[in-house]
Each structure stands twice: as C-alpha cells, then as structure tokens.
Amino acid sequence: MLALGGRVRIVAGIAEFYGGWMGNFFASRPRPFCFGAITLGHVILDTCLKELIALRAHEHVHVRQYEQWGVFFLPAYALSSLWEVCHGRNGYRNNFFERQAYAAEDKNNLQTSRLNEIANDTH
Ligand SMILES: [Zn+2]
C-alpha cells in the first residue's frame, strides 16, 4: 500500500494504512465491494485519512476481537453473518462482531460530539 502512494500511522500498536492508489481503488468499487476500512489482525487498511479517523474506534474493536478469538475470528465472523442471513436479517449490520464495533463507534461519536460542544462553549 505504501508503494502505491498510501501512508501509515502506528496508533496503540496498530498499523493503520490509508490512502494512495489502493485507498482510491477500494473506495470507488461498486457495492457491495466498496468499503471504508478493513481490519486484518493488527493492521487496518483504510481508504483515506478522513475515513480512518471516523472509523478508528470501530476498527480497533475488530483488532481486539482478533486478539480474543485468534484463528477462530474469521470463521466465527462468517458463521455469525450466516446465522443472521438465515434468520432474515442483514448479515453485516446484525453480525455479532459488527454490533460490538458499531456500539464502540457510536459511543466514540457521542463523546466527540460532547467534546465539540464543550469546545464551542468556551469560545
Ligand atoms: Zn466492522
């Protein structure tokens, strides 16, 4: 990704790659093949810095899930999606692991919103 113009940051021991040709490539794919970010162990691949910042809390939950589940994470993730689809629900948004990640993302967005309110009040 670096060879194709991307950049990298190390945050809390996690390598966060973003941007460049690959970032543009994944961002411009038609649904369902486009994505903002993907986590593979302690590596996050993101389309751009703005998406990386917005999705960091979410993706860091997936890193913790990889740590907890080890080699069973990807099969468990797939089984959770399959379970949801078999029960007529969305296999991504209702996935057990995604629900945990979205909960962290929502909590982070709420905290950011409150910090912005405090910052605006002091000016
Ligand atoms: Zn996710």
Give the tens place of pLDDT for each residue, 8-25: 999 999 999 999 999 998
- Centre of ligand 1 to C-alpha 116, Å, is 25
Torsion of Cα atoms, 1 then 41 then 46 then 53, to 10°? -130
Cα–Cα distance, 8 to 22 (Å, whole number): 13
Residues of the chain with pLDDT under 50: none
Q: What is the model's pTM?
A: 0.84
Neighbours of 25 (CB within 10 A): 12
- Centre of ligand 1 to C-alpha 99, Å, is 8
- Centre of ligand 1 to C-alpha 95, Å, is 9
- Centre of ligand 1 to C-alpha 24, Å, is 19
Element (H, E) at 18: strand 14-18
* Cα–Cα distance list, 44 to 2, 64, 97, 122, 123 (Å): 13, 12, 16, 35, 36
- Centre of ligand 1 to C-alpha 36, Å, is 10
- Centre of ligand 1 to C-alpha 96, Å, is 10
- Centre of ligand 1 to C-alpha 123, Å, is 36
Domain spans of the chain, in order of start: 2-121
- Reported as a single tens digit per residue, the pLDDT across 65-82 is 999 999 999 999 999 999
